[in-house]
Amino acid sequence: MTTDSEKKIDEILTRGIAEMIDCEHLRAQLLSKKILRIKFGVDPTSPNLHLGRSVPLLKLRDFQQLGHQIIFLIGDATGVIGDVSDKESERPMLNKTVVVQNMRAYAAQAGKILDMEKVEIVYNSSWLNELGYDEIGAHADQFSLAEFIARDNIKRRLDEGKRVSLREMLYPLMQGYDSIAVRADVEIGGTDQRFNLLAGRTLQKYAGQAPQDILMTNLIAGTDGRKMSSSWGNTINLTDAPNEMFGKVMSIGDDLIEVYFLHCTRVPMEEVKEFLTGKARDAKLRLAKEIVTLYHGVQSADAAEKYFVETFSKRALPKDIVATAVSGEEISLVDFLVSAKQAKSKGDARRKITQGGVEVDSVRIQDVAMILSKEENQGSSLRVGKHGFAKITFTK
Residue 133 pLDDT exceeds 70: yes
| Among 20, 177, 165, 183, residue whose Cα is nearest residue 82 | 165
Q: Looking at the structure, tell me whether residues 208 and 343 fall in a common domain.
A: no
Domain that holds residue 307: 242-313
Q: What is the pLDDT of residue 220?
A: 93
Q: Looking at the structure, tell me whether residues 122 and 190 fall in a common domain.
A: yes
Q: Looking at the structure, tell me whether residues 269 and 156 fall in a common domain.
A: no
Per the structure, how many domains does the chain have? 3
- Which tens digits make up the pLDDT trace of 154-167? 888 888 888 878 88
Check whether the bond before 152 is cis (ω within 30° of 0): no
- The SS3 of residue 142 is coil
* Residue 389 falls inside a structural domain: yes
CB 181 within 8 A of CB 175: no
Q: Looking at the structure, tell me whether residues 163 and 284 fall in a common domain.
A: no
Q: What are phi and psi of 179, to 5 degrees?
A: -65, -35
CB 82 within 8 A of CB 171: yes
H helices of 160-279, where?
A: 167-182, 194-206, 242-250, 257-264, 269-275
Q: Looking at the structure, tell me whether residues 160 and 56 fall in a common domain.
A: yes
pTM: 0.75
Q: What are phi and psi of 287, to 5 degrees?
A: -60, -50
Q: What is the CATH number of the domain that holds 390?
A: 3.10.290.10
Q: What is the pLDDT of residue 379?
A: 85
* Residue 230 falls inside a structural domain: no
Burial degree of 197 (CB within 10 A; 0-12, 13-18, 19+) = buried
Q: Looking at the structure, tell me whether residues 348 and 212 fall in a common domain.
A: no
Residue 290 pLDDT exceeds 60: yes
Q: What is the pLDDT of residue 95?
A: 67
* Residue 159 falls inside a structural domain: yes
- Which tens digits make up the pLDDT trace of 24-36? 999 999 999 899 9
Instruction: Report the greatest alpha carbon distance in the chain.
Output: 78
- In whole angstroms, how far apart are CA 199 and each of 169, 202, 217, 284, 297? 12, 5, 17, 39, 39
C-alpha 326/C-alpha 343 separation (Å) is 16
Picking from 313, 342, 366, the residue at the C-terminal end of a domain is 313
Please tell me what DSSP assigns to residue 311: I
Q: What percent of the chain has pLDDT over 90?
A: 49
Q: What is the pLDDT of residue 155?
A: 82
| Among 245, 362, 354, residue whose Cα is nearest residue 297 | 245
DSSP string over 63-108: HHHTTPEEEEEE-TTHHHH---TT-SSPPPPPPHHHHHHHHTTHHH
- Which tens digits make up the pLDDT trace of 76-97? 888 877 766 555 545 565 667 7
C-alpha 280/C-alpha 276 separation (Å) is 7
- Which tens digits make up the pLDDT trace of 301-314? 999 999 888 776 55
Q: Looking at the structure, tell me whether residues 106 and 253 fall in a common domain.
A: no
* Residue 318 falls inside a structural domain: no
CB 189 within 8 A of CB 217: yes
Q: Looking at the structure, tell me whether residues 288 and 329 fall in a common domain.
A: no
C-alpha 391/C-alpha 129 separation (Å) is 51
* Residue 168 falls inside a structural domain: yes
For residues 271, 272, 275, 280, the Cα torsion angle rounded to the nearest 10 degrees is: 170
Average pLDDT for 310-324 = 72
Q: Looking at the structure, tell me whether residues 71 and 119 fall in a common domain.
A: yes
Average pLDDT for 235-254 = 90
DSSP string over 5-36: HHHHHHHHTTTTEEEEESHHHHHHHHHTT---
Write down the mean pLDDT value for the chain. Answer: 88
Q: What is the pLDDT of residue 94?
A: 63
